[in-house]
Amino acid sequence: MADRDRKDALAVQLENQLQIDRAAQEQAQRQLKALENENARLKEDLSFFESLLPTPANSKGVVIRSFRLQALNDGGRETGREAVRTTASGPAQEPQALRYRLLVQQSGRPERDFVGLVSLTISLQQGGRPWILQLPDTTVPEAGPAPLSFRHYQRVEGTFELPEGAVVRSVQVKIQANGEVRAQQTFTM
């Protein structure tokens, strides 16, 4: 009987150790994911600072410094692909989540904050037909870009879902203030 009790105690001890090991592994995976996200954010910051070259002397007002569009995997992490394309060939595809990042800068030595809005017009091709997706989308408030309010620069980030089988052809970024277009640029994918 004593031998059986020792074996039962050992089994309980091993089971407890296994649970501790699993919990530690899950925590390590969460930390790894957080560090990967932080690393991606730091790379973006580095890219931003590298792009902070003086604006041309003839430019005034707001300038669109950079724009990126990347696919997200199921876990919400970036895949690293910048030119995002999906095809309609083959079996039906799930809608794909995309992340956009935009850097807007006020050129020169701004004396006051710029306050305005940013909108994106995404030109798609789906099933051989052109299609337009407008952000901010009034039907999906969390998908739209945030209003702009900055002195020197502001990064704008957001996500949206690409319709099934759609291909992004271009994205037009438009910056407005007081109903007037202050900057506009089209990025071909």
138 DSSP β-pair partners:
none
The pTM of this model reads 0.62
| The pLDDT of residue 108 | 77
Beta strands in 34-179 (DSSP E): 62-71, 96-106, 114-126, 129-135, 148-150, 153-162, 166-177
Q: How far apart are the first and last CA of the chain?
A: 74
Residue 29 has pLDDT above 90, yes or no: yes
d(CA 132, CA 130): 7
d(CA 179, CA 5): 80
Residue 82 has pLDDT above 90, yes or no: no
| The pLDDT of residue 72 | 83
Q: How far is CA 147 from CA 7, 65, 116, 169, 179, in A?
A: 65, 17, 6, 25, 13
Tokens found for residue 48 = 């931003």
pLDDT digits (tens, 9 = 90+) for 138-174: 666 665 556 899 988 888 888 888 888 888 999 999 9
